Amino acid sequence: MGAGELAAIAALGNPGAEYQMTRHNVGFWVADALTARSGVRFRSGRKLNGDVARVTIANQPVPVFKPMTFMNESGRAVGAFCAYQKLNVEGLLVVHDDLDLPVGTVRLKRGGGHGGHNGLRDIMAHIGADFMRMRIGIGRPPPDMDAIRYVLSRAGSEEESRLLESVETVLGTLPLLIEKGLESAMQSLHTPRPHPESIAEGGHPPPHPGRTR
């Protein structure tokens, strides 16, 4: 697949106001930003166990889905969404948080394992692993906090600002994914960019803050 390969987006999170601003819900943040900027609202798809909206990205209509199951049962909802939309799984982009990436780092890929992410684990059990993933780094918990408590808590103000910046990064990458395809979008997203101040001063560009692999 190449240009135009993005057919639909499933953004992961937990339903309910108490989870809205938690790290685990950064996928929902992306979906909400997409619909807000498109001037559309989600509607309840009761048979799908989730909320659905349709946005336009690079002149292409793209359905956006938020499972209203809890994270651990995301696969049931995403599977129903794919069946309803008659989607080829390769055209699905799943947006989710990632403990293995530094806070605010965004990475894009197709396939792979679940990395301990229960939402991905359940999705893979229902539709396989050939979908695209937009991974948003939330970093690792401190030594005195377990992973569950960490992902279900709100980030501090500095980290939250970086997560909000990562949402902007995702939104900026989606048109390229549609227009040029996955490989071009990955290359653009993963290529370190020189800092403007470094260029102006004639210095060397600093290392990309999220470039770990």
Tell whether 73 is covered by a domain.
yes
Q: Quick check: 208 pLDDT over 90?
A: no
2 or 119: which leads in pLDDT = 119
Q: Is 211 inside a domain boundary?
A: no
User: Is 130 within the bounds of a domain?
Assistant: yes
Closest residue by Cα to residue 7 from 119, 113, 84: 84
Task: Reduce the DSSP state of residue 44 to 3 states and report it.
Answer: strand
Residues acting as catalytic residues: 24
Percent of the chain topping pLDDT 90: 82
The CATH number assigned to the domain holding 153 equals 3.40.50.1470
Q: What is the pLDDT of residues 146-170, one digit of tens each?
A: 999 999 999 999 999 999 999 999 9
The tokens for 121 are 């684990």
Beta-sheet strands, E only, within the chain:
8-11, 43-45, 50-57, 60-67, 92-98, 106-110, 132-137
> Given this model, what pLDDT does residue 195 score?
54
Q: Give the pairing of strands 50-57 and 92-98.
A: unpaired
pLDDT (tens digit per residue) in 29-80: 999 999 999 999 999 988 899 999 999 999 999 999 999 999 999 999 999 9
Residues found in the chain = 213
Q: For residue 94, give its domain range.
A: 8-200
Q: How confident is the model at residue 206 (pLDDT cuts 50, 70, 90)?
A: very low
Number of independent structural domains in the chain: 1
Confidence (pTM): 0.88
DSSP-assigned states of every residue in 147-158: HHHHHTSBPPHH
Residue 2 belongs to a domain? no
